[in-house]
Amino acid sequence: MNQPAASAGRAAVPDGEIAVDDPRAADVRALLQRHLAFAHAHTPAEHAYALDIDALLGPAITFCSYRAGGELLAVGTLHQLDGTHGEIKSMHTAEAARGRGIGQAMLAHLIALARARGMHRVSLETGTMAAFGSARALYIGAGFTPCGPFGGYQPSPDNTFLTLRLA
Amino acid sequence: MKKKPPRMTQATKMVLREMLADPAARYYGLQLSKATALPGGTLYPIMARLERAGWVTGDWEESVAHIAEGRPPRHYYRFTDDGAEQARAALAGARRPGQRRRLDFGMPWPDLPGMPR
């Protein structure tokens, strides 16, 4: 395979490891709770699309975590929308671990995974508010560009859509 | 309406031959990738085209066994009701009326390990 790390679902990153993980694990649940709380604190309920644990156990979803010495520092998800289009979801870095490039490593891992699965494009939805500024900077820095709503999303002033062509 | 048949590239033929070994079975991506030695970046777009052509249908692994195994979920492929027959006909070089056959220069198939003959 071209990308053994991604296809095996595991990758070594500086001072930690990204691997497929269980969204039901206690520490993952706690971090996902903070992720959901953040989304709902900054986005009106009807425009907050963060996935709960049940949704993360659904089909077509690869849920990954970043751990350093076993400690959970970040999560991220790739959802395959169809044969050629993937969606990045549930990107969250623990507050104490921010500013170390962990989100960047997670994003790179999910993009490599999408490539290995033959996807031509990955897209994502995030917020337009100031609280999502560092998230938007991460995606723009990785080459994502604004796009229209995809999948089942509706346009709204609270949501922005970004996409990255892989092929 | 009849869907457009997929382009019969060498890689597409390899995938179809692999699936025709047991046309009633379902196959997951990595399994086909290993059997044909085609990387995912080549294999999955072929599978997407075979799905669009209506020859193959795909579905996701039902359980969450992949989590314990530390791998992404499997996407399974199987032939549709008439998919295997269409694939066999295409491999045999069947042409639709009026369709011109592309020239085959009879290039020898390279002898690579794992290549089906």
In this complex, which of A1, A19, A84 lies closest to B39 when CB atoms are compared? A1
What local confidence, expressed as pLDDT, does residue A4 receive? 39
Mean pLDDT of the A17-38 span: 95
**Mean of all residue pLDDT scores within chain A:** 91
Distance from CA of A81 to the nearest CA of B (A): 12
Burial of B47 (0-12, 13-18, 19+ CB in 10 A): buried
Contact (Cβ atoms closer than 8 angstroms) between residue A165 and residue A138? no
A5 pLDDT more than 90: no
pLDDT in tens, B81-92: 999 999 999 999
More confident residue, A144 or A58: A144
In this complex, which of A10, A20, A59 lies closest to B60 when CB atoms are compared? A59
Cβ of B73 within 8 Å of Cβ of A62? The answer is: yes
For B114, residues 6+ apart whose C-beta sits below 8 A from its C-beta are B35, B37
By the CB < 8 Å criterion, does A66 face chain B? no
- Which segments of chain B are extended strands (E)? 27-28, 56-60, 75-79
What is the spatial distance between Cα A74 and Cα A115, in angstroms, rounded to a whole number?
Answer: 21
ipTM score above 0.95? no
A85 pLDDT more than 70: yes
Mean pLDDT of the A113-126 span: 95
Nearest C-alpha in B relative to A120: B45
What is the spatial distance between Cα A73 and Cα A19, in angstroms, rounded to a whole number?
Answer: 12
Contact (Cβ atoms closer than 8 angstroms) between residue B74 and residue B60? yes
pTM summary value? 0.83
Contact (Cβ atoms closer than 8 angstroms) between residue A22 and residue B67? yes
What is the spatial distance between Cα B64 and Cα A52, in angstroms, rounded to a whole number?
Answer: 16
What is the spatial distance between Cα A147 and Cα A152, in angstroms, rounded to a whole number?
Answer: 14
pLDDT in tens, B31-65: 999 999 999 989 999 999 999 999 999 999 988 89
What local confidence, expressed as pLDDT, does residue A61 receive? 96
CA dihedral B9, B103, B5, B82 (to 10 degrees): -90
Query: What whole-number percentage of chain B has pLDDT above 70?
Result: 78
